[in-house]
Amino acid sequence: MGSDMGIHKRSIKGTSKVAMTMEEFKKWVLRYLDADQDGKITKDELAEAVRRRGEWFPVLKAWKGMRSADSNRNGVVDDIEITNLVEFAQKHFGIMIIS
């Protein structure tokens, strides 16, 4: 008879936030998310970045992020849509935008 009640200890990941301005955020996105440096962020690039963070379900998270960020529905986050990624970055990368 097992004594394992299915209770798992959870380690709290570092909650430190990285504060940056919107200008710095745009540079951050192009540096860390835009793997092929074409100035546009694809779903695959988002997924890869989430995966690198060690989070679960990177593809699902990237898909959700894409849905909210890709305003003109052309399948990529264009230059003008980068600001839409703020929420995604706050949630998954601990980034905080300061003005």
Binding residues for Ca ion, rule: CB under 5 A, are 34, 36, 38, 40, 70, 72, 74, 78
Q: With respect to Ca ion, which residue has the nearer C-beta, 68 or 90?
A: 68
Residue 61 C-beta: closest distance to Ca ion, Å: 17
Residue 11 C-beta: closest distance to Ca ion, Å: 33
Residue 73 C-beta: closest distance to Ca ion, Å: 7
Q: With respect to Ca ion, which residue has the nearer C-beta, 17 or 52?
A: 52
Return the residue matching tokens 């992020």.
Answer: 65
What contacts 24+ positions apart, CB below 8 Å, involve 43-51?
43/75, 46/77, 46/88, 49/93, 50/92
Give the chain's radius of gyration (CA, Å): 16
Q: With respect to Ca ion, which residue has the nearer C-beta, 19 or 74?
A: 74
| DSSP letters spanning 12-33 | PPP-PPEEE-HHHHHHHIIIII
